[in-house]
Amino acid sequence: MRQAEPTGVRPGEPVLPAGRGELSDRVLCALRGRPDGRSLLAPEGVAEGCDPYGEDLHLALYVCYELHYRGFRGVDAAWEWDPGLLGLRSVLERRFLDALRADTGGRPRGAGEALERILAEPAHATGLSHFLRDEGELWQLREYAAQRSLYHLKEADPHVWVVPRLRGRAKAAMVAVEFDEYGGGRADRMHSRLFADLMTDLALDTTYGRYVDAAAGDMLASVNLMSMFGLHRALRGALVGHFAAVEVTSSPASRRLAEAMRRVDAGEAAVHFYAEHVEADAVHEQVVRRDVVGGLLEDEPWLEADVAFGIGATDLLDARIGDRTLTAWHAGHSSLRIPL
């Protein structure tokens, strides 16, 4: 018999967000009750016909995944493995994955070529970090940080799931990089803690999950991508590709963001978070490319297309976030669903 959990508010548990449509409303309504294992599939055609990048699907998926992290205040922990909820989650994942595979179909299928593609930055690039470095205002940096908090306050956690699925050189290198992400054994140096300090400098609430309601669907999709890859052993190659894409692109983007924070005088901790990533991720890039990706493909060469898919899917979603955010800012609007 499962031991009952203590009732009441437990530290660190976020509150459930507000729904964004039929799918997410259905999941949120169920989580407020007791798990019973019955099917939670939406009415016929609703899940299958929803926008694979839409806010409703990705909030529903995000809520399902968060049960594997910190859960939610007042939600029974048994929901994490409820068969009915897992059945619905599977439908949403399949819809998302099918769209990603279709939309990355024309990209390189070799891991090395896929990495070279995201490294080949045009001389006059106009991405999100370039905009923030050159002309971003404090309110825009605050919006950027609020959205990114959905990942950075649990930085490295989704990637840890791949460790038991690796072996040899790939596993050892992955653990070495993750050790740095977790502060080398120092809680005050964990990257999630450093990002919370950045948020404090920007006068943002550091509560885990605080800005879920404000975050756009594309940001939810980006966070969901790494959770989905991490939770499925069959997608371990894609998770390694995602991790490689993050580490390879992090150092130059972090340099630009550190310059942006200095320019608006955001604060010492705000600058430090990105300055830390400039050095750390420049080293991580080499380790990840040579030993994590190289070691994995030495052991399991048949996963190369999956690694390339993970790289391509990451780049695709990052581009969607950048395009949507810059479109809003150039029009003088907030990039958030709920402005700060």
Amino acid at 15: V
The C-alpha atoms of residue 53 and residue 51 are separated, in whole angstroms, by 5
Please report the pLDDT score of residue 43 as a whole number: 61
The C-alpha atoms of residue 27 and residue 8 are separated, in whole angstroms, by 22
Amino acid at 181: E
The C-alpha atoms of residue 243 and residue 158 are separated, in whole angstroms, by 10
What's the CA angle centered on 235, arms 231 and 239, to 5 degrees? 80
CA 255 to chain centre: 20
Answer yes or no: are the C-beta atoms of 49 and 22 closer than 8 Å.
no
Please report the pLDDT score of residue 2 as a whole number: 46
Helix segments in the chain, DSSP class H? 22-31, 46-49, 55-66, 83-103, 111-119, 128-134, 138-152, 157-160, 168-181, 191-201, 217-231, 236-263, 268-287, 294-299, 304-330
Report which of 170, 112, 204 is spatially closest to residue 292, judged by C-alpha positions. Answer: 170
Tokens of residue 16, six digits: 């459930």
pLDDT per residue of the chain (340 residues) written in tens, 0 to 9: 444 454 445 566 899 999 999 999 999 999 999 988 776 666 656 777 789 999 999 999 999 999 999 999 999 999 999 998 998 999 999 999 999 999 999 888 899 899 888 877 766 667 999 999 999 999 999 999 999 999 999 999 999 999 999 999 999 999 999 999 999 999 999 999 999 999 999 999 999 999 999 999 999 999 999 999 999 999 999 999 999 999 988 888 999 999 999 999 999 999 999 998 887 767 788 899 999 999 999 999 999 999 999 999 999 999 999 999 999 999 999 999 999 9
Q: What is the DSSP letter of 265?
A: T
Q: Return the sign of the alpha-carbon dihedral for residues 211, 213, 214, 217.
A: positive
Please report the pLDDT score of residue 45 as a whole number: 67
0.85 surpassed by pTM: yes
Please report the pLDDT score of residue 166 as a whole number: 97
Please report the pLDDT score of residue 49 as a whole number: 78
